[in-house]
Amino acid sequence: MKQTDRVLRHLRDHGSLTSLEAVTEYGILRLAARISDLKKQGYKITSSFETGKNRYQEPVSYAVYRLAQ
């Protein structure tokens, strides 16, 4: 199965995907590139930025990708 197939399946099954999830669950290091590939194939994918804290309790922001309705 291709990485793009895994990303698309995850988006359909779970609603959203972050880079951390992509790395830990699928070993995908370049999620933004796979999202770009899917967009080129015609899939409508949105992204939003959320904030959280890293393991040192420092603020971080990260992209959350979702399939558009």
For the chain, domain boundaries: 3-67
Averaged in consecutive runs of 10 residues, what is the pLDDT profile of the chain (69 residues)?
Answer: 96 97 97 98 97 96 94
Contact 53, 4 (CB under 8 A): no
- Domain 3-67: state its class: mainly alpha
Q: What tokens does 9 get?
A: 């399946």
Q: How far apart (Å, rounded) are the C-alpha atoms in residues 35 and 17?
A: 10
Q: Please report the pLDDT score of residue 69 as a whole number.
A: 78
Strands 45-53 vs 59-67: parallel, antiparallel or unpaired: antiparallel
Q: Which residues make beta-bridge pairs with 48?
A: 64
**Please, where are the H alpha helices in 1-69?**
3-14, 19-21, 31-40
Q: Please report the pLDDT score of residue 9 as a whole number.
A: 97
